[in-house]
Amino acid sequence: MHKPLISKSRIGVASAAGLALLMMFLVFELPGQASSNGAGVRSVKAGMVLIKGGVFTMGGVGPRSRGDELPPHKVEVKSFYLDRHEVTNEEFGLFVEATGYKTTAEKFIDWESMKQSLPQGARKPPEEMLQPGSIVFAGGKLSDDSVTEGGKCKTRGEWWQWSAGADWRHPGGHGTSIKGRGDHPVVQVSFADAVAYANWAGKRLPTEAEWEYAARGGADGKVYCWGDSASDSDKLANANIWQGRFPLQNTVVDGFKETAPVGSFKANGYGLYDMAGNVWEWCQDFYRSSTYLERLRQSDSSKPIVSPKGPASGYDRRHPGQNNVRVVRGGSYLCHESYCESYRPSGRMSCPEDTSMPHIGFRCALDLEPEPTGEKDSGSKEEDSQVK
Ligand SMILES: [Ca+2]
């Protein structure tokens, strides 16, 4: 799903000033990055697909495009590897087991330390905001009164609620677990958690440009990863998304109310799974709605823009006062066509990097060293069988 992705500091339980200050603290307290390569050099590329570089049209296609997806523009992406599927609970569990890593959502916030960096007289946030926890989806608790005729929530925050105890092992809060979900994508992980895992695995997060190039799977200029068909049957075959009346009723026609095991739906043209739906995926770029406009202003528009990295800081008016807003891509099991259809490969969304959500996960990328030469066609190869 799409908006609103609220941050840990925007639960509506403290003063605006207090929230902004809490945000500052959270930024400074981002967890450190694991340095050991637990995956081992020989196995780093296992489960990855070689995405051969090329030029594509980055940005929205057709009337479903939103402002932040425009204007479309030519981008050149260098060859890289990308995980065939989203990082799973089992994989993230291996990382945690090997390193003892604690995710952002599992950490207490120490007020005594926090207030050292705040102006004198700063108000202490409510205790629940300082406890380990995260945000969970509250759509099932909404009534018709909460939703407009068009199906949109009257109050953004009503979709979400803070839940003490929610973390990657308990994605829906106390009483929930990932038992039997080892092959589901890990969720309730912050940007820093994703980066820490990637570092441990000897990988990195993809750039937004790499992510979109890979998601298109060679279908340049198409609305969806699978082409231009908006039929229910094509959506059902290709993406774990929401069926029914969002956010009140999920008819679960596709069999999955929440996350699905990775690879449950069709792969795209590059052999990548779940590039549409299932969970949003962290990218390394900061988010700005004006990223593409600014990019074109600063470039020679007659040539493809090579390996764009995104702006130097993030901003999204949906998360006022924060410059730590990162790009997430691909949409999730909560996405519905009545909103933004963010399972389109051009769909963009933001999330503050210290925030974890039940529908945000990630997959990792890896550079080629050295980059292969003499291959000019775009496409992909299965790493396992063709590149050693
Ligand atoms: Ca679904």
pLDDT in tens, 239-263: 999 988 887 788 999 999 999 999 9
Q: Is the peptide bond before 370 cis (omega within 30 degrees of 0)?
A: yes
**17 in a domain, yes or no?**
no
| Chain segment 189-219, per-residue pLDDT in tens | 999 999 999 999 999 999 999 999 999 999 9
pLDDT at 179: 98
Proportion of the chain above pLDDT 90, given as a percent? 63
Contact 238, 223 (CB under 8 A): no
d(CA 82, CA 287): 21
pLDDT tens-digit profile of 367-385? 997 655 655 444 555 444 3
Q: Report the distance separating Cα 290 and Cα 358, nearest Å.
A: 27
Cα–Cα distance list, 304 to 58, 300, 318, 332 (Å):
10, 8, 30, 30
- What the block records as the tokens of 167 is 């973390």
End-to-end CA distance of the chain: 37
371 CA distance to ligand 1 middle (Å) = 38
The length of the chain in residues reads 388
Residue with the two structure tokens 């400074």: 28
The total domain count for the chain is 1
> For all residues of the chain together, what is the average pLDDT?
83
Query: Which CATH number covers residue 136?
Result: 3.90.1580.10
Q: Is 32 part of any domain?
A: no
Q: Is residue 354 one of the residues assigned to a domain?
A: yes
Element (H, E) at 21: helix 16-28
Strand partners, 244: 250
Rounded CA separation 51/326 (Å):
23
Q: Is 336 among the domain residues?
A: yes
In a domain, 8, yes or no: no
The average pLDDT across 219-243 equals 95
Query: Alpha carbon 351 to chain centroid distance?
Result: 8
Q: What is the pTM of this model?
A: 0.83
Residue 66, domain member (yes or no): yes
Distance between CA 366 and CA 227 in Å, rounded? Answer: 27
Spacing, Cα 194 to ligand 1 middle (Å): 24
The answer to whether 380 and 210 have CB atoms below 8 angstroms apart is: no
Q: How confident is the model at residue 111 (pLDDT cuts 50, 70, 90)?
A: confident
The residue among 269, 295, 143 whose CA lies nearest residue 209 is 295
**236 CA distance to ligand 1 middle (Å):** 8
375 CB contacts (<8 Å, ≥6 apart)?
A: 52
Q: Which two tokens stand for residue 5?
A: 């992705």
Question: Does 5 fall in a domain?
Answer: no
Q: How far is the CA of 57 from the centre of ligand 1 (A)?
A: 29
| Cα(219) to centroid(ligand 1), Å | 24
- Tell me the residue range of the domain where 297 lies: 48-367
pLDDT of 50 > 60? The answer is: yes
Residue 41 has pLDDT above 50, yes or no: no
CA distances from 336 to 75, 127, 239, 244, 308 (A): 28, 35, 11, 8, 29
In the prediction, which pLDDT does 302 show? 83
Question: Residue 280: pLDDT band by 50, 70, 90 thresholds?
Answer: very high
- What digits encode the pLDDT tens for the residues 138-158? 876 666 666 666 656 565 557
Q: Which protein residues have a CB closer than 5 Å to ligand 1 (ion)? A: 240, 254, 256, 333
CA of 241 relative to ligand 1 center, distance in Å: 4
pLDDT higher than threshold 80 for residue 85: yes
Strands 249-250 and 54-58: unpaired
**Ligand 1 centroid – CA 379 distance (Å):** 29
Quote the pLDDT of residue 261. Answer: 98
* CA 278/CA 330 separation, integer angstroms: 8
Q: What is the pLDDT of residue 167?
A: 98
Domain assignment of residue 7, yes or no: no
